[in-house]
Amino acid sequence: MPDSQTRHFAFIINPNAGQRIWPSLQPQVEEMFAGQAQGHTCEIVLTQYAGQATELAAELARRYGDRLIAVACGGDGTANEVANGITGTAAAMSVLPIGTANDFARAALSRQEPAELLSRLFEPAIRPIDVFRIDSRICLNITSLGFDSKVQRKAETLNVKVRWLGGLIYPLAIILALLGGREYPMHYRLETIDAQGKTGVIESDARFILAAICNGQYYGGGFHPAPQAALDDGRLDLCIVDCLPLRRVLSLIPRYKQGTHLDDPAVHLMSVTGGHIEAPAGQLLLGNYDGEVFEKPTVDFKILPQALRFAFY
C-alpha cells in the first residue's frame, strides 16, 4: 500500500549519467516541492566523483533515519552506490532512471519515464528487498563474470567516445567483444537452495563464456539472464553458460536477450544463497558488479535477505 508518512526526499544526481535529462529534472523537482509537497521536504545533490553517492546516502540515512527516501538519479552504477550507503539502515531508497541502461529499474519499477515517476513521488510503496554482498561491496542487481564483463568494458569506452549512440552502445560492444578470447576457467563452491528450501553445497570446475549472479532480472542494456529472479525471495539465480563456438554464441545471444535461453543445454541455472569462485593460480576473474568492472583472483558472495528498504512506484 502507498506510504503516507511525511518524508525527506534526497535526489542524488549523477550528472555524467543523465547529461541530457538532469538539467530539466532539477527545476521540475523544485516546482513540485514549492507547490503540493504535502509537508514533505527535499534536497538535490549532484555528485562530483565516483563513490560520493555512497557517502551522501549514508550521511543522509544517519540524519533522517526512516523519514529518508534517497532517490538515485542516474543509471545502475548510481543505484549501486546509493544502495551501498542505505543497506542496513532504517532509510529507504528508490531510483529515477536517467542513465544509459537502467537495468535494475526494469525489474523494480512499474514504469521508466522520469516524469511519470515524479508524478507518483508522494505515493511510495515501501517494502524490503534482498541485496547481496560480494566481497566488501553491496550488489543491488547483478554481478557477472566473463564475456559480459568484457562487453561492459567495451561499452564504457564507447560511452565516452560515442555517447550519442545511446541504446546501440551495448550491441556494438558485443560485436567488438566477440573478437579475441571467449573462454574463462573457474573453480566454484556454491551454497544451493531448492524450491522446497532444502540447502546443499556443490563444488566443481567450469570453463565458461559467462556467469551471472542475479538478484534482479536484467543487465547489459536489457539482457535477461534470470527471468525467474525476484528481488525479495531470499535467493540468487546463478546462470552459467558453457564455452561455445562462435556460431552457437551468435544464435544464443538473441535468446539470452529475450530470456528464452534456459532450455539450451549449454545454459545452467541454479538457485544459490552464497558461494566462493576463484580463478586458476596466477589468473584473475574478469567481472563487474552492477556495471563496475573488476579483476580479482577470487570472489565471495552472500545473499542479504530483506536488507534494503525500497520505495516502489
Q: Which residues does the annotation mark as catalytic?
A: 292
Q: Can you give the three-state secondary structure of 58-82, one letter per residue?
A: HHHHHHHHHHEEEEEEECHHHHHHH
Question: Cβ distance 146 to 210 under 8 Å?
Answer: yes
Q: What is the rounded distance in angstroms from the CA atom of residue 110 to the CA atom of residue 123?
A: 13
Question: Cβ distance 234 to 302 under 8 Å?
Answer: no
3-state secondary structure of 84: helix
Beta-strand runs (E) in 173-284: 184-193, 199-214, 236-242, 267-278
Handedness of CA 230, 79, 302, 310 (dihedral sign): negative
Q: What is the rounded distance in angstroms from the CA atom of residue 27 to the CA atom of residue 29?
A: 5
Q: What is the rounded distance in angstroms from the CA atom of residue 301 to the CA atom of residue 273?
A: 8
Question: Cβ distance 70 to 42 under 8 Å?
Answer: no
Virtual torsion, Cα 130, 121, 124, 2, nearest 10 deg:
-170
For 84, other C-beta atoms within 10 Å of its C-beta total 23
Cell 543509471 -> residue: 75
Measured CA to CA in angstroms, residue 312 lies from 14, 33, 210 at distances of 21, 20, 31
